Amino acid sequence: MMDPLSLEIFQAVAEHCSVTRAAKAVGRAPSNVTTRVQLLENELGTVLFSRDGKKMSLTREGTIFLSYANRLVDLAAEARQAVRPVQASGVLRVGTMESTAASRLPDALRRLGSRWPQVSLHLTMGATRELMQGVLAFDLDCALIARPPEGSIDLSRFPDLDLRQFDAQRICVEELLLVLPSRHPDVLSAADLRVQCLAAMEPGCTYRRMAEEWARHAGALRTLELASYHAILASVVAGNAFGVMPRSVFDLLRWPTDVITHEIGPVETLLVRRRGDLSDCLDALHYALMPPTGRSGGHAPSG
pTM above 0.95, yes or no: no
Beta-carbon neighbour count of residue 14 at 10 Å?
24
Q: Are residues 117 and 249 in the same domain?
A: no
Question: Could you tell me if residue 295 is inside a domain?
Answer: no
Do residues 146 and 279 both lie within one domain? Answer: yes
Residue 231 lies in a domain: yes
Q: How many CB atoms lie within 10 A of CB 132?
A: 25
Shared domain for 157 and 275, answered yes or no, is yes
CB 177 within 8 A of CB 247: yes
The per-residue pLDDT for range 91-126, each reduced to its tens digit, is 999 999 999 999 989 989 998 988 888 999 999 999
Q: Is residue 296 part of a domain?
A: no
42 lies in the same domain as 160: no
Residue type, 9: I
Q: Is residue 301 part of a domain?
A: no
Check: CB of residue 246 under 8 Å from CB of residue 177. Answer: yes
Domain extent, residue 230, equals 175-266
Q: Which amino acid is at 113?
A: G
Average pLDDT of the chain is: 86
Residue 179 in any domain: the answer is yes
Q: What burial class does residue 161 get, using C-beta atoms within 10 Å of its C-beta: 0-12 exposed, 13-18 middle, 19+ buried?
A: middle
Q: How far, CA to CA in Å, does 8 sit from each of 4, 36, 129, 150, 225?
A: 6, 10, 27, 16, 39
Tell me, yes or no, whether 91 and 65 share the same domain: no
Q: Is residue 14's pLDDT more than 60?
A: yes
For residue 220, give the H/E element and its range: none
Residue 302: pLDDT band by 50, 70, 90 thresholds?
very low
164 and 51 in one domain?
Answer: no
Q: What are phi and psi of 224, to 5 degrees?
A: -95, 110
Q: How many CB atoms lie within 10 A of CB 178?
A: 23
Q: CATH number of the domain at 158, please.
A: 3.40.190.10
Distinct helix (H) and strand (E) counts, the chain:
11, 10
Judgement on whether residues 140 and 274 belong to the same structural domain of the protein: yes
Q: Which long-range contacts (CB under 8 A, 24 or more apart) does 22-27 make?
A: 24/164, 25/163, 25/164
Q: Is 203 among the domain residues?
A: yes
Residue 294 lies in a domain: no
Per the DSSP assignment, residues forming a β-bridge with 195 are: none
Q: Give yes or no: residues 229 and 111 share one domain.
A: no
pLDDT at 243: 94
Q: Which of 82, 104, 138 is the last residue of a domain?
A: 82
Among residues 192, 163, 166, 165, which one has the least CA distance to residue 180?
192
> Do 166 and 208 fall within a single domain?
no
**What average pLDDT score do residues 28-34 get?**
87
Tell which of 82, 105, 138 closes a domain.
82
**Amino acid identity at 84:** R
Asked if pLDDT for residue 1 goes beyond 70, the answer is no
Of 290, 272, 127, nearest in space to 210 by CA = 127
Task: Choose one of 60, 82, 104: the last residue of a domain.
Answer: 82
Same domain, 74 and 196: no
Beta bridge partners of residue 168, listed in sequence order: 272
**Displacement of CA 217 from its chain's centroid (Å):** 26
d(CA 179, CA 257): 12
Name residues whose C-beta falls within 8 Å of residue 257's C-beta, 6 or more positions apart in sequence: 182, 237
Examine the domain organization and report whether 241 and 282 are in the same domain: no
Both 108 and 215 in one domain: the answer is: no
Question: Has residue 131 been placed in a domain?
Answer: yes
**Residue 36 belongs to a domain with what CATH number?**
1.10.10.10
Give, for 197, the enclosing helix (H) or strand (E).
Answer: strand 197-200
Give me the number of domains the chain comprises.
3
Mean pLDDT of 182-207: 89
pLDDT interval class at 134 (50, 70, 90): very high
